[in-house]
A and B are shown apart, each in its own frame.
Chain A
């Protein structure tokens, strides 16, 4: 995406007040208590064990640590995690707009 295009987008967002995940390909992460975590717009699983789960995002990764983690289901763009979630760390590698 060109620089102008990206700026145009940022400007449109500001004017129309649209949610970011619709316009930019940002992940939408929903946490239900400490039991369930839904992630839309993910880019695959990087690391997978019962204590730690790393999920690739468009710009960066999401580190989830907890107990008895399990991927309840995984579809092209959607992913649901179940288990006791202790910690979520978002590691961004976003370039400055």
Chain B
């Protein structure tokens, strides 16, 4: 044991004792049960350490032994506290800093809302504010997160779940929106009219009043399903809905060349890379000729950009691709089948994939200038209904 326990907390002083018989003084101190340590001979006397509590018991001993002492150093908390007390403003500053830091740490600084798509974040934040969750709110004044999330969920409509989580001084409000039924498109009152001249083969009215029957011949623009219900005096307009199919005739003029030429890439290619500086391009790689007799060149520019600004510096790549041409000759039969198939595809693409071709008839056929010319009549069953809004004057 070098020194008594907690000597720095209790405070101790270093004394310099001088006198005719320092040894006697030391013995007297030891006998009185006063703890001293680090007794060093110094100068004409001795220096020693002593607890602050025992300091005032020293006076009679000094008198008895005829020694004199003076204090050379003061150590420990009591002396520090006294020194700090002398600088009150400084001490107050330290205290204030601690308090301010503590207060700022127990304050909400940011609130984030996550997981919302349709509901505005501001609405959720406004609801949270009414529940006492807003920036610069004290954390201890807020309710428990589970209670908060329950209240928030009942306050904001269209939310199925809310989770409130606090990490430090920021709050995250996790939102799960309730599924909404799909909104139906708003439709205006209308008739269904014929798109073209046709013979009706099928009519089904989901809403509205069918006006024409099966096998009746209709003109373009004629009403098929009427959106007007009731008689002339009491009329109510509805949105006519339904499906009407009819036979329609299409006449196609087809011409098919007998000899066709097509090009294709062989897969051989040669790349050239250039460094572009303004209007100048310096070739970097791919010197030499490609050796292709027929080729196509594709150029690709990769200019450096900074934000939206394009810099006059970049890399240009040229790809030279070898091309081969092949030609084939068809017979008249093949050309005819080809042309009719193309016309059928055109019909399906134009009038809907559920159209069916009932019959076809080649009206005229001619072979001339290496081409086959044909006139074909198609009888097609297709949808003929078209919407016509009802305008009330």
- Judge if A7 is at the interface, Cβ distance under 8 Å: no
Residues of B near A45 (CB, < 8 A) are: 23, 26-27
Residue from A44, A69, A71, A79 with most neighbouring chain B CB atoms (10 Å): A71
The docked-state distance in angstroms from the alpha carbon of A76 to that of B26 is: 11
For residue B41, which residue of chain A has the nearest CB? A50
Contact between chains at A44 and B30 (CB < 8 Å): yes
Which one of B22, B37, B41 lies within 8 Å of A72 (CB-CB)? B37
Q: Write the nearest CB–CB distance from B69 to chain A, whole angstroms.
A: 15
Contact between chains at B27 and A48 (CB < 8 Å): no
Which one of A47, A73, A76 lies within 8 Å of B37 (CB-CB)? A73
Q: Write the nearest CB–CB distance from A66 to chain B, whole angstroms.
A: 12
The docked-state distance in angstroms from the alpha carbon of A49 to that of B3 is: 21
- Judge if A88 is at the interface, Cβ distance under 8 Å: no
Contact between chains at A76 and B2 (CB < 8 Å): no
The docked-state distance in angstroms from the alpha carbon of A79 to that of B3 is: 13
Q: Write the nearest CB–CB distance from A40 to chain B, whole angstroms.
A: 13
The docked-state distance in angstroms from the alpha carbon of A76 to that of B40 is: 18
Given contacts A73-B1, A74-B30, contact A48 B23 (CB under 8 A): yes
- Judge if A75 is at the interface, Cβ distance under 8 Å: yes
Contact between chains at A73 and B2 (CB < 8 Å): yes
Contact between chains at B26 and A75 (CB < 8 Å): no
Q: Write the nearest CB–CB distance from B90 to chain A, whole angstroms.
A: 36
Contact between chains at B30 and A70 (CB < 8 Å): no
The interface on chain B, measured as residues whose beta carbon lies within 8 A of the other chain's beta carbons, has a size of 20
Residues of B near A29 (CB, < 8 A) are: none
The docked-state distance in angstroms from the alpha carbon of A44 to that of B39 is: 14
- Judge if B36 is at the interface, Cβ distance under 8 Å: yes
- Judge if B46 is at the interface, Cβ distance under 8 Å: yes
Residues of A near B26 (CB, < 8 A) are: 44-45, 48, 71, 74
- Which residues 72-92 in A have Cβ within 8 Å of B in the complex? 72-76, 79
For residue B40, which residue of chain A has the nearest CB? A70
Contact between chains at A73 and B36 (CB < 8 Å): yes
Interface string of B27-52 (1 = CB under 8 A from A): 10111010111111100001010000
The docked-state distance in angstroms from the alpha carbon of A71 to that of B29 is: 13
Residues of A near B40 (CB, < 8 A) are: 50, 70-71
- Which residues 127-153 in B have Cβ within 8 Å of A in the complex? none
Contact between chains at A48 and B22 (CB < 8 Å): yes
The docked-state distance in angstroms from the alpha carbon of A44 to that of B27 is: 5
For residue A54, which residue of chain B has the nearest CB? B23
- Judge if A46 is at the interface, Cβ distance under 8 Å: yes
The docked-state distance in angstroms from the alpha carbon of A9 to that of B22 is: 37
Contact between chains at B39 and A71 (CB < 8 Å): yes
Residues of B near A75 (CB, < 8 A) are: 30, 35
- Which residues 54-78 in A have Cβ within 8 Å of B in the complex? 69-76
Contact between chains at A76 and B23 (CB < 8 Å): no
Interface string of B378-389 (1 = CB under 8 A from A): 000000000000
Residues of B near A71 (CB, < 8 A) are: 26, 37-40, 48
Residue from A46, A47, A70 with most neighbouring chain B CB atoms (10 Å): A70
Residues of B near A49 (CB, < 8 A) are: 41
Contact between chains at B41 and A76 (CB < 8 Å): no
The docked-state distance in angstroms from the alpha carbon of A9 to that of B1 is: 33
User: Residues of A at under 8 Å CB distance from B?
Assistant: 44-50, 69-76, 79
Interchain Cβ contacts under 8 Å between A and B, 7 examples: A71-B37, A71-B38, A73-B2, A73-B3, A74-B26, A75-B35, A79-B30
